[in-house]
Amino acid sequence: MKRLRSDLALLFVLGFFTLFSIVCSDLVISKLDRQIDLSSQIVRFTTSLKVENNGAEAVSKVLLPYSETQAKNLAFLSVTITEGKGKTKTSSERLPHDVSHPEGMPSSLTWYAVSLPEELGKGGSLTLEVKAAFTHLLTPFPEKITQADAQLVAFQDSAHYLSPYAVKIQSLTVKLPEPKVESYTRLENTKFSGSEIKYGPYENIPPFSLPTILVHFVSNKPFSVAQELVREIEVSHWGNVQVTENYNLVHAGAELKGEFSRLDYQARPHVRGASALSSLVARLPARAHSICYRDEIGNISTSNVYSDSTKTLLEIEPRYPMFGGWRTAFTIGYGLPLQDFLFKSGGKRFLDITFGCPMNDIVIENLFVKVVLPEGSNDISVVAPFSIKETRETKLSHLDIAGRPVIVLEKSNVVPEHNQNFQVYYRFSSFSLLREPLMLVFGFFLFFVACIAYVHADFTISKSSPSYIAKLQWDEVKTAIQQFQNIMNRVLVIHNKLEASLRDLSRTGDVQACKAARKTADAFLKELTKESKPLLSFLQSSPQALQITPKVDELVIKERELQEKLMLKHSMVVDSYEKKSGGRDIDNRVAAVQQKIALLRQEVDDLLELQGELDTKLGAPTFVNGMLRHFHPVLSASLGVGVWYNRRDKVHYHIRGKKTFSLTGDGFVNFNVKGRSNINKELKQIDYSAATELVWSIFNVKKDQDVRIKLGYNVIDKIPYMQVRENNWTFNIDQNRRWTVRYDL
């Protein structure tokens, strides 16, 4: 406050001494209307000047002076020529202006010389509209308040326009955020109405006439100041522009005095925290996607997104309400479609995107915009609607060799008026677009060749080494399991033939044919049992099959029990037909046995897995009940049908399929192609996925420990991922840092 008063007093003295000594050009301001908007922390001046040339010589420039305080905090200045009024009002392009040092003018002022498109001749006139935005002109007074106090601020200026030219008639309107004023300076022709204070009109005002005015008023809007904002805009020619914005935010209003009560704030937030910063709204492009809001701790869930055909609004809330003097740091990120922001012109590509902050009413003390172009970009140039500082950096990312060029644009004292489009032009060859995919293909090819060479190479010192013997034993176990699976499939076929003979009996009544089918089935089952005995003995004695043997034994027991029940049912039905029993009596007699058969058949036929996992994105458990049936043990293909449930989305169904191509003779290195489709209860497709995978299985890394490493690529979402599985534990992670840990029961 003292600094502002001394500044204006100095200008008053300078004006008093120079009023009669300085001879300006013969320009006269015939009419001047000035509006000062104090509704936010950014003070906006809108001045309309009708300038007349009463001299004999033409004039090409108009001088605009600003005091030292105003010049230091001037963030944005725009000068246009206007014609007409109201709805018929038109404006020209912005006129160029530069800092000037006119002779004979006070050196304590900062002068801007506005260049006119055409010289203003004798007797000519034009109307200029000057728009200026200032920061840090509002001073909290008092500087510290309690949680229950309203925020009061003071603003000081002059009732007359600071000008080196005589003004015939002028007026000033000060717009306040609300009609609550502690005090204001009363001069001649002063009127306070609603939330506006009007000074004037005043006539025949000489140059540098500066009557001071002071307004002390209520302004509960938070003073959000980003001490530093770093915007990184990364261009990918594969279809996406990724924007990441890192904010270091402070509430620059009146500091909080005393303790903060969360209870009082939640009960009456508009009274016990009227000036606190509780939320911010970012206006993003219409097709923004993959929006995130996080800080150093992690994801912040207090955010909402609203979108329509013209915009996307991101509403965010800090982890705590911010009072004066409080600070926070956070990051928002989002993706944009490449075709909306990258274009071609004259053999060059250019990025056309906004420069400033997407949040209104935020003052940015230091803004850094980093544009990361693809590796290989050259002949880079920047076109911006205002002056900025430009430097160059290099960023190394995945699959880069020399690094990606980074254009760093820096500007201080940034306001929403700076949120205009700028362009970055560069050249990029089409061949460079294929460099990274070719590197991936070549890298995978070398990896496959190395894996094939490793698997086929014999690194053992002796054929009697433990690792070589363990491999041979595991091959024998796999062969035995495959043979046992073939036998079980043949047993199930015989079971089906027994059931078919009973259906033929009910249709034809031929008991002898049914008994013959039973006799044939008995003979086949005895033969298959005989074939399976040496396989079972081998698996039970092999140390490599310790984890598999319990499952095999359980399957044998269930199959024998199923076989006994089928034979019992067959005997009961044949006996009933011989006794001429009715169909209903037969059904009642075998009902209990049939129920047990159905249960056992389900246990034998289906492989049921129950898995539990914690989804770190949803923050909720996910339960998966998947049923997988192998149609043929020789073919490396499978089809699955299952039910998917979690607490948020309820019940879904899914269908999945997979085809495996073995890259090595022992099947340790495979290439998978798989897909999945999720369907809701109305049998409508929710989403789908497809992926390719390279799988390396390592058996017996240690005793009873198997490891499987899987590198995959999601074709639909274009996201690489990795999976590591050790026995029952599975760890998944993808490029977006989403990870899951799963344990199979």
- Per-residue pLDDT tens for 254-272? 999 988 999 888 888 888 8
- State whether the Cα torsion 377-379-380-382 is positive or negative: negative
Q: Which residues of 49-69 are buried (b: 16+ CB within 10 A; e: fewer)?
A: bbbbbebeeebebbbbbbbeb
Over residues 183-208, the mean pLDDT reads: 91
Q: Which residues contact 694 (CB under 8 A, 6 or more apart)?
A: 444, 447, 448, 669, 670, 671, 672, 710, 711, 712
Over residues 695-706, the mean pLDDT reads: 65
Amino acid making up residue 594? Q
Confidence class for position 668, pLDDT limits 50, 70, 90: confident
Strand partners, 394: 405
User: What is the DSSP track for 556-570?
Assistant: HHHHHHHHHHHHHHH
The pairing of strands 43-53 and 125-134 is antiparallel
Confidence class for position 611, pLDDT limits 50, 70, 90: very low
Identify the residue with better confidence: 686 or 121. Answer: 121
- CB 261 within 8 Å of CB 147: yes
Long-range CB contact pairs, 258-264, < 8 A, 24+: 258/146, 258/147, 259/147, 260/147, 260/323, 261/147, 264/147, 264/148
| Sheet with 90-91, edge to edge strand ranges | 90-91, 74-83, 125-134, 43-53, 27-37, 166-175, 196-205, 190-193
Over residues 9-27, the mean pLDDT reads: 50
Give me the percent of the chain exceeding a pLDDT of 90. Answer: 40
Task: Select from 167, 159, 134 the least CA-distant residue to 49.
Answer: 167
pLDDT the model gives residue 467: 67
Report the 10 Å Cβ neighbour count for 108: 14
What digits encode the pLDDT tens for the residues 85-111?
Answer: 777 678 888 899 999 888 878 878 899
75 burial type by CB count under 10 A (0-12 exposed, 13-18 middle, 19+ buried)? buried
Quote the mean pLDDT of the chain: 83
pLDDT the model gives residue 167: 92
Confidence class for position 153, pLDDT limits 50, 70, 90: very high
Asked whether the predicted pLDDT for residue 285 surpasses 60, the reply is: yes
Classified as helix, coil or strand, 451 is helix
Q: Which residues of 202-235 are buried (b: 16+ CB within 10 A; e: fewer)?
A: beebebbbbebbebbbbbbbbbbbbeebbbbbbb
Asked whether the predicted pLDDT for residue 43 surpasses 50, the reply is: yes
CA distances from 119 to 62, 63, 397 (A): 10, 14, 54
* Two structure tokens written together for 689: 């996925």
